[in-house]
Structure 1
């Protein structure tokens, strides 16, 4: 009897062990399967630079910078720009040029070539790559990769087909391609990008070089912030930071006292908003009056912006008759608040965004009404 009982217990134990083995195997298999499925889904989405670039046979990825940013073979970059041919130059910056590069039949990109012979240039390169590798937002330029060759540094971005806002406003077309609605859309896109940096990045990011040449426009005139070489992480309330930026866009407290906050970006945004209004046929942020005299757009515009009778007369004729005056006054009021000398009087960018969203909705309704009216006529 005892022998039978012992045999029964052994069989029962073996049975239990078998079930445990089967359960472990099943769980491990399912887990691997799920991971594989997730990888496949992520690959189909193509959300990372590596996934985007790996689809094109002409691009050789030679490594990853800090496990995040693809490092593209220098020879591939040289070939894609046709040895940095002058005809491929898209723009010129402080440390080098930006070139159009053709990697494949379906992939044109922009390549920033930096001469890193000074520590400042090297710092800006590292800062931009570091920041953009962590930032993903529809209104911030996408980093695709980078490359190093001697004292030359290269940053590869998505190509923005309609260049910069500055080129559109002050270039050959003199703003004629930008309707009132498109300008408000650009203002809204730019505010969204800044709001993401200030409110949704941890720690927050201050761009520090907010200007129209750093707002790029894609094929559909969607706006994206670019050039993060001077950006500061968690710069709120920081003082005595080395002055950097562009005259005409730099906030007074930063220019005079070296005090940098997110309100410094808001000031630069306000100047861009004034440019979008195309005051006095494309007046630039700083205008040369004489050999030693300059006048800022803000100084010139303030008396006009606060007088409703004068405001319609200083707006570019290209857009003057395509807007509702009420909406013009509202946008001008936002610009006035953004460029206040005292930072505490300026709104947060999230408040600017909220205001512009309401006004843009108004513009869309108004545009729809005009279309319907034309159809009836």
Structure 2
């Protein structure tokens, strides 16, 4: 069982990550992901206590959560540079606008950092958020709710960085909003799931209590799932990439001389997939970014090349956005342009260099390219 394991280890005061000014009040918690693959909470202590001062970069967060601990780097009554990305031009939530002479803003419209506690979820080496990290983040949220009663309204007091400024953060919860809803559900201790009562089943079915099961994930690429209990090609409803799956297994069903799981996706739609442990795993843990809910049948993934997770619509430009060969506006070469209003397939997002909004990693004329984050509006498939 995941425990809070909350530790306090404050970084020294400095103008880049811990300026020392007091929050006007605690009005919300902004959730982030580090996008720093493989780095732990302790690694981030070193970064914000030493490295960031040397490179003279403004950034910070109060609490870092990994699969083993939660580490408080900045006192919860102090502010830091966590959710404005170089100004307030992209500030979407008017309720998080605040002004104070200790923290000047570019347009004078206010700054969210004067009102927010920032929580960063650490990322595994494969770019996923570990289930233990997700569960511990929910425990941190509950800890903050006990400390600050005004945060009890989970749905309205906990926001993604994306909700504040439009930045693609935490990326797994932008591309998969269901994962964000799962974190909120885990945070809200008032939600009680009633015990499962198995219904009568056909003699050909094996009853499987749903309270003991959660995600059924594919262990292989291109795993077929079906619209009905069948192995027939004509009943194939779609195919799962490795690591993807369904959030609910209802029961096992005997099909000819083998078994299938009857599963449901996030919309409650029913499908059937092999129950063989050679091809699937059954996990009793919350969903992570590596197993998103296939809300609709997905096309067969190409055996080679990057996998797309959605698309972006080109916005925020007069005529067109430049597509670059690397995530650095100062050193990249132009691959071409994408006209305003056009769409590009997206394989992910990266922080890159010389762009406060990061970069979208896109497929452009069959090649990998990068578009400045502000110039793309994300749409999931």
Q: Same fold (TM over 0.5)?
A: no
TM-score scaled by length of structure 1:
0.26
Query: Of Structure 1 and Structure 2, which has the larger fraction of its residues in strand?
Result: 2
Q: Larger C-alpha radius of gyration, 1 or 2?
A: 1
TM-score scaled by length of structure 2:
0.26
